[in-house]
Amino acid sequence: MKWALLSVWDKTGIADLAKVLIKHDYRILSSGGTGALLQQAGIPYTDVATYTGFPEMMHGRVKTLHPKVHGGILGRRGIDDAVMQEHGIEPIDLVVVNLYPFEAMSAAGLTLEEIIEYIDVGGPAMVRAAAKNHKFVAVVVDPADYRMTADAVRRGGFTADERLSLAAKAFSRTAAYDGAIANYLTGIDRPFPEVLTVQFRNGRALRYGENPHQAAAVYGDAGIAGEQPLQGKQMSYNNYLDVDAAVGLLREFDDCAVVIVKHNNPCGVATGDKLLDTYIAAREVDPVSAYGSIVAMNREVTADVARELTRTFVEVVIAPSCTPEALEIMKAKENMRVLRLPEPVVQDEIRSIDGGVLVQRTEPFREDWRVVTEREPDAHEMRAMHLAWKVCRHTKSNAIIFADEKAVIGIGAGQMNRVESAEIAVRKARKPLAGSAVASDAFLPFPDTMEVAAAAGATALVQPGGSIRDQEVIDAANRLNIAMIFTGVRHFRH
């Protein structure tokens, strides 16, 4: 006769698992809400209080914290048998536990006194004990593993590798749980916790990092990090970085849009009515840079678009969906990865530096667009400025973007001064810049950048404002007949 201890907050699937256990000669220990569910389902079990001889007390705070429970979990078969027999301790072979939902409740606006009651003590203690003694005890902390657990029970027990894998998962869970509690308690009355603990799951090794001599891995089971290619070879380190940049910009658009990214900067952006025409327009912004790029689309990829994509070298295509015919066409390009566009994940941005990390949070913000020049922008210029500004927010500083109503025309990025960014954008433009709008991710400290833009044909400019020389720049804009808007919000990207 084997024993299983069941104590779960999330009761999904627990009754079905318990039925399998009973059918295969397990005796079940349980208590509280889990015991009540088993009783309601007509599944026999032994109450923990009956087994230990001590009642559940302190409103449930103390129920499994007893030597007959922990001795049964921690007892080493063949070593501790005599002492277990002396004290009436039954060996527990399976521990199925999941924890009070501290993470969810800590975001529910509860008081400190209320949230403290969602800190599980007995649950993590049993999980850690079982994981430590995994040579003899299987520990299950995730309802997703119940099917595997039931299969192991049916065939007579768990393999050593299965017990080790379950133990590793259990320790990961208690680490995340304690980390969430520590983050909450050290973050009281602070914008960020004093001690930051983070955990990402689903780790996968990558072929190499940014360069072949660097090792790399990706972690995460949601958003971009959790996606696996629908076709094509596995993603690389640089692919993930560039896809993240492309999708961040793509999510700025509700209309049909295509974003092309190379080395973490957009090199082509367009909007339109039809995806095929929009993709071609985005690609033609800088077709040289588009070679070997990331293409992000916010509409379904159909056969005509797929055929156009395969006419050049594209590293990754990411879109909400692809038709079966489109996927079949893109299979001809074995090296082209195709990803599904996932739902966005809201989280802090974490970047490593020597000896630690930087953490950044983008709270909801509102820009205050206001005309600061004598001439107001017309409707065409306003639409062009909105497009240029969206792209500017996702381009490495110093960023200067030229655009018309439908597409980017020139991109200058990553320069040490803004004037050179403007000159690069002008030089790279493949279409006339006459009548275009230009965006700058930060204020113009001098009129020189705007003078470069005006000489190239731009008629409107959007920038954050905030320089001590704002009036000098405004005066120059009036002299050049440039319509200028201040947004009040800077968008540096380093």
Catalytic residues: 132, 263
Give first-to-last CA distance, the chain, whole Å: 63
- Helix, strand, coil content of the chain in percent (nearest 5): 40, 20, 45
CA dihedral 68, 70, 74, 75 (to 10 degrees): 0
Total Cβ atoms within 10 A of residue 214:
10
The Cα 379–Cα 358 span in angstroms is 41
Cis, peptide link before residue 398, omega less than 30° from 0: yes
- What is the DSSP-derived secondary structure letter of residue 313? -
Rounded Cα–Cα distance for residues 327 and 347 (Å): 32
Supply the DSSP symbol for 57. B
Instruction: Quote the CA–CA distance of 141 and 176 in Å, as a whole number.
Output: 13
Residue 190's identity, in one-letter code, is R
Task: Record the tokens describing residue 451, joined without a space.
Answer: 């003078």
Q: Cite the DSSP H helix spans in 187-320.
A: 237-250, 275-283, 287-290, 303-309
Closest C-alpha among 68, 69, 7 to residue 32? 7
In 171-213, where do the E strands start and end?
A: 204-206
Cα angle: 166, vertex 171, 172; to 5 degrees: 95
Contacts of 39 (CB under 8 A, 6+ apart): 45
Angstrom distance (rounded) from CA 120 to CA 115: 11
How many other CB atoms are found less than 10 A from the CB of residue 116? 12
Structure tokens at 177: 């749980």
Angle between helices 418-428 and 448-456 (to 10 degrees): 10
Between vectors from CA 491 to CA 211 and to CA 493, what angle results, nearest 5°? 10
Under 8 Å between Cβ of 22 and 112: no
